[in-house]
Amino acid sequence: MNKLEPEEQRRLLEEIAPDLLEAKKAEEEKKLPPLPGAEKGKVVTRLPPEPSGYMHIGHAMSGFLNYLYARMYDGKVWLRFEDTDPRKVKLEYYESFRRGYRWLGIEWDYEKNNSDDMELFYKYAEQLIKSGKAYVCTCSAEKMRRLRAAGEECEHRKRGVDENLHLWNEMLAGAFGEGEATLRLVGDMKSKNTTMRDPVLFRIINHPHPLTGSKYRVWPLYDFAVSIEDYLCGVTHVLRTSEFALRDELQNYIRSLLGMRNPIYIEYSRFEFKGTPVSKRKLRAVIESGLASSWDDPRFPTIEGIRRRGIVPEAIKEFTITQTGFSYAKREYDWSLLFAVNRKILDPRARRLFFVPNPVKLVVEDAPKVSVEAPYHPDRSELGSRRIEAGNSFYVPREDFEKAAEGRLIRLKYLMNVRILEKREGLVKAEFAGREVVKNVKIVQWVPADDFVDVEVLVPGPLYLDGEVNPESLRKVMGVGEPAVKTVKPGEVVQFERFGFCRRDSEKGYVFIKAHD
RNA sequence: GCUCCGGUAGUAUAGUCCGGUCAAGUAUGCGGGCCUCUCGAGCCCGUGACCCGGGUUCAAAUCCCGGCCGGAGCACCA
């Protein structure tokens, strides 16, 4: 009864929307649209990761939605691991999700694992059996699949309660091997919604679970576990991706049989970025092709990948709030949308430094030997400055000087103007042309030729182009950096002037990853 | 194949429920200008969309029908 059709969800959303829009303009703060059926202080949402793989940006955005709505209504958030497939679940992933949520600034009030509640699941299963709503089925998987597709019942559905109870206890006692018996819901074999056709509630898995070891062999399936857990946790709003939409009916039905209240569902299509699939299969293909070596590759949509790339949590949060809608339509975000948000956040805090990609040597024989005090930020003096000692030879961007004609005037930022005299392979000669700023002269960054560090910048691009793995998805730019590059701490994001925002990725040596321009 | 669900500018969204105020708003992108000792940020101007075809109506992005295109599901995964 709490189940709302998408139209209904939108209608409710719309009803309160005008207030929101006005409020948004008034305080210039970005807010999510109102949550249907939400009451201050009574909202409970959940973060439901399956600890079977790496956390990615889709988890992050979904996580923000659940977290921000709970916060917006002074509600509570559960972190609940959906870990009822012992074969898929791995210990390392539990912590990786906690770490990911923490990094994002997503806080949760309570935490549990579905696998904590096995005894409870068994209790509810027994209740269903006793009320004639569940039966033990000993069909083979293939037969069951065939019958479900055809909408036909199997002979096991007619078993009596006592027999089912007996068989169920046999299952729990270990009398059946894997695949030999399941507990099924008495659903509706004729339902158009195939999930309602007597779905399996429990199956046998002979594989140790990372948390409970070999204590349990009879494991609940997703729909059963989640139905019960959402009720147990008091979840009022389920915000999840649309691949679960068909399960609303089933989960509500299971709860109705147990006398449990249902949450409100809000579903939306997956969040994906162009050229960057989140699918484990596709990412693994990239690793297997040798293009990437690990799951934290900066081209990957994994949390570790985007973190290394220099995307900050606030950007993902703001992006989720402003660019997201509860739409079922397929969408593929353009990275530039996220970059724009990230840039606005980074711009006031990132120090400006000189990095010269693909350097060429510039010699200015008559240059005065001077040093300059260069601010780390054009309009935020609190970020400080550094002194650069300049001689008469420099490294400058090859591109700028190769394109420039002889006789052309170019300014070395903060330092002086030079006039190009001659260009030879790997060397440009120029003459000193004054220190004052001249209008309409190209300004470039520079690095003293006798005091610099070698810098390498990784520039990530789309992993897939036109559905094919992109072999040139990671460009490596070699260059030199001014001495102050040594002061950039690992993890810090700076702006290399005229190059882009880059995060220092290495502990030793100067390897950076470019986030964006 | 079957069952659902969608299709608003390059991209992402607002608007669709209760048809007119939408000659369609916002962000980003793109073009131009201003500012700036960065090709960054900021400010200003501009560009650009209701999938197609019918129907209902005085009036349709909004309602109805058909088509096309796209997504999801059809597990003893979640």
pLDDT tens digits for range A392-412:
999 999 999 988 888 999 999
**B11 C1' closest Cα residue:** A334
Residue partners of A500: CB distance under 8 A and separation at least 6:
A514, A515, A516, A517
Active site (catalytic) residues of A: 50, 270, 280
DSSP secondary structure string for all residues of A43-82: -EEEE---SSS--BHHHHHHHHHHHHHHHHTT-EEEEEE-
Lowest mean pLDDT among A170-174, A269-273, A302-306: A269-273
Question: Do the Cβ atoms of A79 and A110 come closer than 8 Å?
Answer: yes
Question: Do the Cβ atoms of A276 and A463 come closer than 8 Å?
Answer: yes
Question: Do the Cβ atoms of A360 and A400 come closer than 8 Å?
Answer: no
Question: Do the Cβ atoms of A332 and A272 come closer than 8 Å?
Answer: yes
Q: Higher pLDDT residue, A120 or A405? A: A120
* Rounded alpha-carbon distances, angstroms, from residue A494 to A162, A351, A397, A515: 70, 5, 19, 10
What is the average pLDDT score of chain A?
Answer: 91
ipTM for the whole complex: 0.93
The predicted pLDDT at position A21 comes to: 30
Q: Of all residues in chain A, what percent are helix, strand and coil, respectively (each to 5)?
A: 35, 25, 40
Structural domains in chain A plus CATH codes: 6-114+225-343 (3.40.50.620), 118-219 (3.90.800.10)
The DSSP letter of residue A240 is E
The predicted pLDDT at position A402 comes to: 85
> What percentage of chain A has pLDDT greater than the value 90?
84
What value does the CA radius of gyration of chain A take, rounded to a whole number of Å? 30
Burial (CB count <10 Å: 0-12, 13-18, 19+), residue A53: buried
pLDDT tops 50 at residue A9: no
pLDDT tops 60 at residue A150: yes
Quickly state the pLDDT bin for A85 (edges 50, 70, 90): very high
What mean pLDDT comes out for the span A193-201? 96
Q: Please name every residue paired with A209 in a beta bridge, in sequence order, or none if there are none.
A: A213
The owner of tokens 């807010």 is A31
A399: nt with nearest C1' to CA:
B39
Amino acid at A203: R
Question: Do the Cβ atoms of A104 and A313 come closer than 8 Å?
Answer: yes
- Residues 251-290 on chain A lying near strand B, CB distance under 7 A: 269-270, 274
Quickly state the pLDDT bin for A26 (edges 50, 70, 90): very low
The predicted pLDDT at position A325 comes to: 81
pLDDT tops 60 at residue A28: no
Residue-wise pLDDT tens digits, A326-376: 888 888 999 999 999 999 999 999 999 999 999 999 999 999 999 999 999
The answer to whether A221 CB sits below 7 Å from nucleic acid chain B is yes
pLDDT tops 50 at residue A20: no
Burial (CB count <10 Å: 0-12, 13-18, 19+), residue A428: buried
The predicted pLDDT at position A328 comes to: 85
Report the alpha-carbon distance of residue A342 to residue A183 in Å, rounded: 49
Lowest mean pLDDT among A24-38, A88-102, A368-382: A24-38
The owner of tokens 């300004």 is A443
> What percentage of chain A has pLDDT greater than the value 70?
94
Residue-wise pLDDT tens digits, A435-479: 999 988 999 999 999 999 999 999 999 999 877 889 999 999 999
- Residues 349-408 on chain A lying near strand B, CB distance under 7 A: 352, 378-379, 397, 399-400
pLDDT tops 90 at residue A102: yes
Nucleotides on strand B with an atom closer than 7 A to protein CB?
3-8, 10-18, 27-29, 36-42, 70-78
- Residues 418-447 on chain A lying near strand B, CB distance under 7 A: 437, 443-444
Lowest mean pLDDT among A17-31, A33-47, A237-251, A313-327: A17-31
> Pick from A345, A343, A337: which is nearest to A274 by CA?
A337
Report the alpha-carbon distance of residue A378 to residue A372 in Å, rounded: 15
Q: CA dihedral defined by A196, A219, A1, A269, rounded to 10 degrees?
A: -80
Lowest mean pLDDT among A199-203, A327-331, A429-433: A327-331
The predicted pLDDT at position A29 comes to: 52
Q: Which segments of A319-415 are extended strands (E)?
A: 351-353, 355-357, 359-364, 370-375, 385-390, 393-397, 409-412
The answer to whether A517 CB sits below 7 Å from nucleic acid chain B is yes
* Rounded alpha-carbon distances, angstroms, from residue A254 to A184, A201, A397: 12, 10, 66
